[in-house]
Structures are given as structure tokens and as C-alpha cells.
């Protein structure tokens, strides 16, 4: 299942950057509430490409005083270093770590 999620995420990133050459970073996050995220950060795209709950989504980058914050449709992903916080609709914030 993790391989399928990563493959789906890679296809999204490739489609977005097919005509452009950007540095890309892929990370896996595990959250305290059991959520597993696959995230691709594409330099200069100002967005995070996220695979969460079996769905692929593009979260645009938002202003943040510290770290980097991405948000769309009630999903917020806020990162600083190796730690992150995830907020989904009708859910509380949960702590996440790479690993």
C-alpha cells in the first residue's frame, strides 16, 4: 500500500513538473493519531503534494511566522524541521514526525 501511495504521489509531481526542472524532496510522516502521509515538496512550486487517507492533494503554501504551512479544503500541514502538525476537517491537531 505504501508503494502505491508513493507511486501515485510521484505521478502527480511528474505531471506538474513535466515541463519544468525543480528540485524535489519526498518525505514520509507518521502521526500520533495513526495517519501516514507521503509528501513531496517541489522547489519553487510553493505547494506540498500530499498523499493522505488514500487521496492525493495539492496544498498551497501559506504565510507562516515559523516553519512552512500548507493548507487547502480544511487540511493544514505545518512543518518545522523533522516535526509537523496535521489538521483535518472535524479533527484535532496531531503531531507528526518523519521516519
Nearest to 72 by CA among 55, 92, 94, 88: 88
Give the pLDDT confidence of 64-88 residue by residue, as tens digits.
988 899 999 999 999 998 889 999 9
* pLDDT given at position 43: 76
Question: Three-class SS of residue 92?
Answer: coil
- The b/e string for 28-57 (b: 16+ C-beta within 10 A; e otherwise) is bbebeeeeebbbbbbeebebbbbbbeeeeb
* pLDDT given at position 6: 53
Superfamily of 2-98 according to CATH? C-type lysozyme inhibitor (2.40.128.200)
Extract the C-alpha cell encoding 4. 502505491
20 against 89, higher pLDDT: 89
Kindly report the average pLDDT of the chain as a whole number.
Answer: 83
* pLDDT given at position 99: 75
Whole-model pTM: value is 0.75
Q: Domain segments of the chain: what residues?
A: 2-98
Amino acid at each position: 500500500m505504501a508503494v502505491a501511495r508513493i507511486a501515485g504521489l510521484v505521478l502527480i509531481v511528474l505531471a506538474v513538473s513535466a515541463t519544468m526542472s525543480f528540485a524535489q524532496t519526498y518525505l514520509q510522516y507518521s502521526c500520533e493519531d495513526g495517519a501516514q502521509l507521503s509528501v513531496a515538496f517541489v522547489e519553487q512550486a510553493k505547494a506540498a503534494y500530499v498523499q493522505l487517507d488514500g487521496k492525493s492533494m495539492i496544498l498551497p503554501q501559506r504565510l507562516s511566522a515559523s516553519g512552512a504551512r500548507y493548507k487547502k479544503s480544511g487540511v493544514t500541514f505545518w512543518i518545522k524541521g523533522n516535526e509537523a502538525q496535521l489538521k483535518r476537517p472535524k479533527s484535532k491537531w496531531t503531531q507528526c514526525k518523519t521516519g
